[in-house]
Structure 1
Amino acid sequence: MADLSLITVPVDAGIADVAGQAVAAAGGGDTAPVGPHRFLYVANGDASPHTVTVATPGTVKGLAISDASLVVAAGDHGILPLNNVYRGANGRAAITYDDVTSVTVAAFELES
């Protein structure tokens, strides 16, 4: 898994070039920092839809919490929050993809 760096987006400086900051999704998955105001940006430049899954390692009263998933349509973009519920043992979210063909991703944090 590749570690995505966190990119800070200043809230008072206008629109950030979100797509321009994205990197190729790793075939074995990626990890990203979690916390308030953080999110994963996904761009799908492929001709087919792709599913992005963020593992949810915790439990509630002994029951597993379902992983979060997002289907990004062909040629579309999507975002997933990177809340603390996705924090793995290494302190980061584990992100996987059904395919990485023409998929780019970035981890962002809105400046508080």
Structure 2
Amino acid sequence: FVGTTSITMTHPKNRDGIFTIMLSPKFWGRGYGEEVTRWVVDYAFRSLGLHRVSLGVFDGNERAKKMYQKVGFVEEGRKRKVNWINGHWEDNVLMGILQEEW
């Protein structure tokens, strides 16, 4: 098992896909996350006709945030202290990329 990814459209008229990805830890740091993210974003815009792709990431996940920024996502906001992780509250960073930015 390498991992899983999805893109979900909650309101079709808005054409906003919510992107998720989860890789098995033994595959971290090998570039698979970036490769899959680029592929899914490209598919979302070129094949599905989406206007934007959104995601949420734990604030402490610096590796993922850096990778998303490298792909072209920008921080759009945050939900403060929404995740209880390792004995403390952590923010969820909201990120997005628009079709015209791709």
TM-score where L is the length of structure 1: 0.28
Q: Per residue, is there more helix in 1 or in 2? A: 2
Which structure is higher in RCO with an 8 Å CA cutoff and minimum separation 6?
1
TM-score where L is the length of structure 2: 0.30
